[in-house]
Amino acid sequence: MPWDPGDCPFPDTAVAAIEDFKYENELHMVRHHAPPDDAPDSLWQLSEDFTVSMICHPEGGGPADGFVHTVTAPRGMYTDLASVPRLFWSIIGPIGPHLEASIVHDYLYMAWTDFRPREDLERDWNFADAVLFAGMNASGVSVFQGDRISKAVHSSYGWETFSEKEYDLADRMEGWLGHL
């Protein structure tokens, strides 16, 4: 059965602020002992959908213009957890209170080409990074730590990772689901 991408994970408008960020269910993953032949190098795979919700406030709008928005990282998605190079693990590791926010952020980085026209690229990148920061706040990540992580992902390296994606997530998901 082909993978159903569901609703677009990005709002239709630019978002100025996110509040009331909530994890709607627990994060469930499986760790493979070795990646299957057609899997990425990562050994971690979501074994269930992982959903978050938030109130988004559009740019140029007032507090009354906020709307509820949900994002669901799909069962079967591979992740490298928090994408932190090993060199920096003594400062910020791949696992910690930022993990759940990192998983949703990974999904948004992987998903944009499957849902959005290229002209929305920068808006979607800004949203993905704002979701990461809101998720870290909801998880109790310190302001200092959250600021370091946010600056790292919202840098030229983060932009390069987001904007240079050349694959189709739907093709990957159809192949990845069989690994569970």
- The pLDDT score that the predictor gives to residue 122 is 85
Q: Rounding to the nearest 10 degrees, give the CA dihedral for residues 130, 27, 42, 154.
A: 10
**Which tokens is 130 given?**
């704002």
Q: Provide the whole-model pTM.
A: 0.86
CA separation (Å) from 114 to 35, 107, 110, 168?
A: 24, 11, 8, 6
- Tens digits of pLDDT across the chain (180 residues): 677 888 889 998 999 999 999 999 999 999 887 767 766 667 789 999 999 999 999 998 876 789 999 999 999 998 877 666 666 666 665 677 888 999 999 899 888 767 766 677 888 889 999 999 999 999 998 888 888 888 877 777 777 777 776 777 887 888 888 888
CA separation (Å) from 46 to 146, 148, 154?
A: 24, 26, 25
Asked whether 128 and 107 are in contact (CB, 8 A), the reply is: no
DSSP character for 7?
S
Kindly report, residue by residue over 70-105, the tens digit of the pLDDT. Answer: 999 999 998 877 666 666 666 665 677 888 999 999
- The pLDDT score that the predictor gives to residue 180 is 82
- The pLDDT score that the predictor gives to residue 118 is 67
Mean predicted lDDT score pLDDT of the chain: 84
Asked whether 30 and 36 are in contact (CB, 8 A), the reply is: no
- The pLDDT score that the predictor gives to residue 85 is 60
